[in-house]
Structure formats: structure tokens, C-alpha cells
Amino acid sequence: MNIVIIKRLIAIFKRITRSHKKDYEKRYFDTLKNLQDLKFALDESNLVQIVDKHANILYANDKFCRLSEYSFQELEGKNMRMLNSNFHSTEFFKDLWTTVTQGRVWSGEMRNKTKTGKYFWVNTTIVPFLDKDKKPFQYIVIRNDITKSKENEKKLEYLSNVDGLTALYNRRYFDSMLDYYWETLSQKQNSLSVILFDVDYFKCFNDTYGHILGDQCLIDISHQVKDCLSLYEAVCARYGGEEFAIILPEKDLHEAYLLAEKIRLRVEQLNIPHELSIKSKWVTLSLGVASIIPNQVMKPKELLKSADRALYQAKDNGRNTVALNDEKLFCLH
């Protein structure tokens, strides 16, 4: 081949090679810049972690470090379990890991714990990185802080379940919790007790002192009740105008009676004037107590009816007293 032609071909090849090289370099740097831009956008808008297949932390961005109160040096190499708040069940994490180890994306809400023991909620998406055999070798964990919205949600739920005057629970919440404890304790075969009580001659009190002092009377009583219940797992509700109800899980008739008597004395000792009361010159309570080991044959409302009968018995006995339902079905001692 003519040497001149060869030289020309070599020159053309070099120009093409330089052109392709520049094109490849441009594509490489454009791709790199796009990845850097994506990382910047992700880091600025989300809490990001990268973990290995054993959930050991390889990377955590600044936003996550600030929220968790850990530095990256404290997180690096540690297992994600260090953030566990013990809120979620074993089944929750089993479902999570079953999903991601199969190469699928998992999404859900999760409560974590900071370095100083505070709780925070995050909306979490876990995306597997797959190897050539389509097996996960790393995971990117993308989170959004939803702590405030969860707190607002909890406040709204609380407000929907609470009586506006006394700050005790309302009747709807009481009934739902009675159903819950009935089901739970029927499985455990343990006692469930209820106390119903109301203010003696409260209509007369309102007529004498007015509704403002009537409301204050109910508020003062609720404070005493809450103080008496502070050491118990209990649900206390304003069940009607001046009627109150208490659920006492895992307490028998005798234990419930002692608590009811304590409440009666505490309210009497407030010395709230009630000059036209037939029973006393102070505000007093009548209380009815019933108890049972729940079962699947009966219904929770039957326990309430039993406590209500005891309450009326207390009124028949002269008021300012505690009465127990004397039906053998409900007596546990």
C-alpha cells in the first residue's frame, strides 16, 4: 500500500480516536455530574443510609446523623439495631427482611431511638442493590422525618378519646378498652373489675351553686381519682354527666373495693360544700364494684350492668358508700 495513503489513514484514525475519546470522556463526566447532582438532591431532601447485607452501616448522610444524634464515626460499621426503639414486633422486622432479601423494595413507618434515648418516626424505603446473580449485597435506606406529624396524629387521637371538662377518657374510649381487656383477660383467665360511681345529689348541687361550680366540682373529683389511679394500670372515664367509670385489669373484687373506698374517702376529704345534700354537708360519692374472670360466653356489658346494680345498691344503702355486686357469678373471693 502506498506509504502516503497509510499515513493519511493513520491520521484519520487518530482524529477519530481523539473524537471518540473526547465523546466518551464527556459522557463519563456528564454521568458523574448527574450522579453527584442526584446524591446532593437526595442528601438535601432525605435521611440516607447505605448498609451491607447484614444491616451494618456503611454510609449515613449529615441529615440522618443530626436526627439520630450520632456522628458518622459512631455509626460506621455498627448494625442498624442500635437505633431500635423496641416499639415494633418481631413479625414487623421479619416481614421487612423477608421482603428486601428477596430483592424487593420495602416501605413503611418506623420508630427509632436517638443517642440520648429520644424517639423519632421516619417514613422508610429500603431499596436492595443486586449483584450479577440478582442477590442483594447492599441496601440504600431512604427516610423522611415524620415525627411531628405522628405527634400531631397522637394528639388528635388523644383529644378524640378525652372528655373536654375533666381530661378523663370519654365513654367511647372506655367501651373500646373494656372490649380489649375482656378479650385479653379471657385468654389469660385473669380478673377484670369495674367501678362505677357518681356524685350524690349532684343535680341539687348544680341548682344550688350553679353550673360553673358544678363543673369545678367534677374537675376536682377527677384530679383525686387520677391521683388514686397513678400506680395502677387503669382506664378512668367520665361516663355520663356526673357518672364515672373505671376499668381495673387483673384486679379482683377485693382489690377493686379497696380502691373504690380510697376514692370515696379522698373526695369526701376535699370538703366541697354541699349544704342541701340529704347525706352530708360535703360532696360525697356512691360507688358500685363488680368483678369477673372474662369468658367467651358472656359480654363486657354484663360486667357493666353488674357494677351498675351495685351502684344502685350503694344509693339504697344511704349513699356515700361502696357496694359490691353480690351475685355469685361476679364474686371472686
Tell me the C-alpha distance between 194 and 308, whole Å. 10
Residues 6+ apart with CB under 8 A from 184: 249
Within a 10 A sphere around the Cβ of 239, how many other Cβ atoms?
A: 21
Tell me the C-alpha distance between 149 and 58, whole Å. 29
Q: Residues 285, 289, 293, CA angle at the centre, nearest 5°?
A: 160
Active site residues: 242
Tell me the C-alpha distance between 189 and 163, whole Å. 31
Within a 10 A sphere around the Cβ of 287, how many other Cβ atoms?
A: 28
Instruction: Give the three-class secondary structure for 153.
Output: helix
Residues 6+ apart with CB under 8 A from 149: 121
The cell for 266 is 379522698
The cell for 322 is 361502696
CA-closest candidate to residue 174, choices 229, 227, 244: 244
Within a 10 A sphere around the Cβ of 253, how many other Cβ atoms?
A: 19
Residues shown for the chain: 333
Tell me the C-alpha distance between 180 and 168, whole Å. 18
CB 47 within 8 A of CB 144: yes
Tell me the C-alpha distance between 18 and 214, whole Å. 93
Residues 6+ apart with CB under 8 A from 50: 57, 58, 59, 60, 138, 139, 140, 141
